[in-house]
Amino acid sequence: MNVEIRIVDSLKGKALFATKGMAEGSVIFEEDPLVSCQFSWNAAYGYKACHHCMRPLETAQENARRLTNNPNIELPYPECCTTKSHEVVSCAKCGELFCSVLCQEAALDQYHKILCLQTHERNNIHPLEQLNEAWKQIHYPPETSTIFLIVRMLAKILQSSNKDLAQQQILGFCHRSINEEAELAHKFLGAKFADQLTLLHNLLLAAIPKEGIEQFLTPQGFQSLLALIGTNGQGVGTSPFSQWTSRALDQNLLENEHLALEKLIDYVYEAMDTHSGSFLNNEGVALYVLQSACNHSCTPNAEVCFLHNNHRLSLVALKDIEVDEEICISYLDECSLNRSRHSRTKQLMENYLFACNCPKCQAEAGDPDVTSEEEMSDSD
């Protein structure tokens, strides 16, 4: 491994450090998640993804036609599409789709035996279906997480041949005080829906077996799991069209062919923006052991990528990294990183309960304690 997790101190806790030097642009490590899951609304809107790894199941052309609402779009260079439609399989009992037999077997081995619904049970009254509908009414797009990450975590423990180890994997993520977890759980649901905590808890209790996971199913245990996925969940995005675009543009084309391809790509993206807005990817969330040990910095030296167009995470160096240097990512998006120190601090405190002390924040420590919006209002 190019990295190792170290305990820094009681305040900061875990951190990820490089065990060898790495050049800018290199892949620091790759890892599959402990669990992952597509967002509920994303699936409901027709974004077809593997039930296990979130690999797109549409071809690039099917994806472009759906997102533009134009059935006449023809994409050249079909060999650049990474979707292998002939390998897609479905569960004989519940009908869930998988990108390959390997993914279907992995899901069955890890959690799907517990969660698989018989086809005749799909009647909108099964507890899992009720939980999904309740969650959708609480967590509208743009989605940031899903309660089914918790469902799969618990099912994975139940199916594990070593339940103690499976539970320790879950407990190995960041834990906080009871009051902090309560604050994060309510923030995760949103103030408007904080009173729905009991409803979600009761639906979860009805949806899965309880023996062997009792500690996670108490009101406090459930609250802790919500806090865990709220602070450690990593967004996952996959797209057949973007993969096709990259591969098509990388071909050795004549100049006129390249210009024609760029014109087509621009047209498709503009049409997508008109019909579908900014929601273009299969989207979901996952829990990663190594990635979760990466602390935040407003000047990160690494970023998360999904180079394989599934839930396998690649951490890529944004600059040269020295041996024993801490590897940091940004918990904020690029737009938020460009805002004032006070705005960044406010967002990090609300969502993660810590104040950043990275070099950028230290350098801006003397700046006024106003948000970017307040600064703009004052300048007006």
**Beta-bridge partners for 321:** 22
- Which of residues 214, 234, 254 is at a domain's end? 234
Number of neighbouring beta carbons within 10 Å of residue 5: 15
Q: Is 1 exposed, middle or buried (0-12, 13-18, 19+ CB in 10 A)?
A: exposed
Count the alpha carbons within 13 Å of 45 in the hemisphere toward its beta carbon. 19
Predicted pLDDT at 372: 56
pLDDT digits (tens, 9 = 90+) for 102-116: 999 999 999 999 999
Does a structural domain hold residue 276? Answer: no
pTM, 2 dp = 0.92
281 within a domain of the structure (yes/no): no
Section 124-144 average pLDDT:
91
Q: Cα separation of 301 and 297, whole Å?
A: 8
Which of 205, 234, 263 terminates a domain? The answer is 234
Output helix, strand, coil percentages for the chain, rounded to the nearest 5.
50, 15, 40
The percentage of the chain sitting over the pLDDT mark of 90, rounded to a whole number, equals 81
Judgement on whether residues 362 and 220 belong to the same structural domain of the protein: no
pLDDT exceeds 60 at position 91: yes
Flag whether 16 is in a domain: no
- Residue 73 counted as domain residue: yes
Helices (H), the chain: 40-44, 60-68, 101-107, 113-115, 127-138, 148-159, 163-171, 178-189, 197-207, 214-217, 219-232, 240-249, 255-276, 334-337, 341-352, 359-363, 372-379
> Rounded to an integer, what distance in angstroms lies between the CA atom of residue 282 and that of residue 237?
6
Contact 32, 124 (CB under 8 A): no
For the chain, the domain total comes to 2
Looking at residue 378, its pLDDT comes to: 45
The verdict on residue 15 lying in a domain is no
Is the pLDDT score of 348 beyond 80? yes
Q: Which domain holds residue 72?
A: 35-234
Residue 380: band (very low, low, confident or very high) from pLDDT cuts 50, 70, 90: very low
Same domain, 225 and 356: no
Span 350-361, average pLDDT: 91
Gap between the Cα atoms of 83 and 89, Å rounded: 13
Q: What confidence tier does 272 reach under pLDDT thresholds 50, 70, 90?
A: very high
**Residue 374 pLDDT greater than 70, yes or no:** no
324, part of any domain: no
- Judge whether 64 and 272 are in contact, CB under 8 Å: yes
Q: Is residue 279 part of a domain?
A: no
Q: What's the pLDDT tens digit per position in 139-183?
A: 989 999 999 999 999 999 999 999 999 999 998 887 788 888 888
Domain presence at residue 148: yes
The model's pLDDT over 57-76, given as tens digits with 9 standing for 90+, comes to: 999 999 999 999 999 999 99
Among the three residues 176, 209, 234, which one is the final residue of a domain in this structure?
A: 234
DSSP letters for 305-325: E-TTSSS-EEEEESS-B-TTP
Biggest distance spanned by C-alpha atoms of the chain:
65
The Cα–Cα gap between 306 and 304 comes to 7
